[in-house]
Chains A and B, each alone.
Chain A
Amino acid sequence: MQKLINNPADAVLECLQGYELAYPHLIRVHYDPHFVYRIDAPVQGKVSIISGSGSGHEPLNIGYVGRGMLDAACPGAIFTSPTPDQYLAALKKVYGGVGALYVVKNYTGGVLNTELAMEMAAEEGFQVASVLVNDDVAVEEKANRRGMGAAVLVEKIAGAAAEQGRDLDSIVQVARRASAQTRSMGVALSSCTSPSVGRPTFYLPESQMEVGVGIHGEPGRRREPLVHAAEVVNIVAQPIIEDLELKAGDMVLAMVSGLGSTPQQELFIVFRYLHQLLTQLGVRVERQLVGNYITSLDMAGCLITLLRLDPELLELWDAPVRTPALCW
């Protein structure tokens, strides 16, 4: 294992400590239980937006804490959803008195721990709601779809709505719509190596790719010969386009996220072909993100995420945001 870590067991803690030193003007870190919160929290009278996920997906979610996006993010152990007491402690720290929204990625652990946290929060008199992110078209059965790139987009849109001072119901509504309008699919050219395991989770021979991967190092839905970038984009984007039923005249937000160890060069090549493919269909790429936004440690490959935009979602996307990983 070739990694710049000390002890695998300390990787998450030391990452958070470095993170706090890197962004002292934007965030603070609370330890034991671990969560990252925006420097001016709690913002009174504003609905709090809280998210969480296993570590190893950076900048998700700790990179999205700040004005216009998340009030707090709870990092779990590597690839392991955080515990209910992390969610509850974060809620208490950032609660502005008018409700909180948890953004939940659809994984068994993520859902179960948030459910427990919400039960505990409700018992203590907090007003909480959740929005589920389940955008992965690689999983055919809709109820089972994993949460992937949509997490970034839904957190941004919900965060903007909260910053405008909207009430919890209205934020839940717009966040659910953004989630429902988003689809993703991933492709891996290598496995990642989880520090505690010390070797790749799966072995991918030269000239093969895993199609339909998630973000936890698990293999994908199927293995295929690796083809040219243009063809990979077709293989990954077509199921998204079909599932979203995109047609000429639609406008989308397109995100190409590297999974951790893919050079930007390749991500821009992928984006170029994605843009071409959508343009040929008459779909307008109105906004885009190309880079590492949701990753899987050092996995090679990318996720393609498309969000069908409407004027309200576009306005919320464009609203100012000031976080370590997204800023405009």
Chain B
Amino acid sequence: MSQEITLAQLRRWLLAFTDRIIQQELYLTELDAAIGDADHGTNMRRGMDKVRQRITDENAPCPDVSTLFRTVAMTLISSVGGAAGPLYGAFFLRAARGTNNGAKSITLLQLAQMFRHGLEGVQQRGKAQLDEKTMIDTIYPAVEALEQAAQAGKSVADALALAREAAEAGMKHTIVLQASKGRASYLGPRSIGHQDPGATSAYYLFETAAETLGQEQA
């Protein structure tokens, strides 16, 4: 319970997330081609290149957790465009509110709180609920699982493994859903049978968190 997640670890997680999106650029774009306008991978990649540049810039280091998350948020908002920019921006901007200014490390419970704030930010900005075939379908169950695990006193590694599993199940659940938000909604019933690209990129948040924050604590 008292394991701390350090600023350096969070930074490694975010770099792993940018790497994963960059690796999966074509896959995300293919998913988007089926039910959207085939730009999710390209857009996210553009943002991730900028995030990587920004958070590895030694001339402008992020001195605390809150600044790190704010920096990621503003970089995404000003470089991604489309719906993904403001939504991922809202996630990180709000998540930053879940921590104290100046904090160099956080507890698992604080991480869960940050993700909860992030989820609320995405929901408010996008006005989306569960089961509308969006990134919410991944983030919502993952945040619930993370909170429960944190409150039950699980280790960082176990809690993030549970969050990752819930995120994956949520992402896969979007396959059977009909989209009612976002560009896929214009396809009506034709959107059924395809995994949502936004839910997929959001899954990488939790997958890479489990791989980086989790493993280092195990």
Contacts and interface: CB of A to CB of B under 8 A. Distances in A.
Interface of A: 33, 54, 76-85, 107-109, 112-113, 115-116, 138-139, 144, 146, 194, 196-197, 201-202, 212, 214, 216-219, 221-222
Given A81-B82, A116-B77, A219-B190, 5 more contacts: A83-B78, A108-B126, A109-B83, A109-B86, A201-B33
A218 B43 contact: no
A218 B37 contact: yes
Contacts of A146: 186
Contacts, number: 106
A109 B82 contact: yes
Contacts of B119: none
A116 B86 CA distance: 8
Nearest to A214: B186
A116 B89 CA distance: 11
Interface residues of B, number: 34
A282 B195 CA distance: 47
A197 B83 contact: no
Most buried by A among B29, B84, B186: B186
A80 B83 CA distance: 8
B37 A201 contact: yes
B134 to A, nearest CB: 9
Contact of A194 (B38, B183, B187): B38
B87 interface: yes
A76 B37 contact: no
Contact of B37 (A85, A115, A144, A217): A217
A328 to B, nearest CB: 33
Contacts of A194: 37-39
A139 B179 CA distance: 13
A39 B35 CA distance: 40
Contacts of B84: 109
Interface in B174-217: 180-188, 190
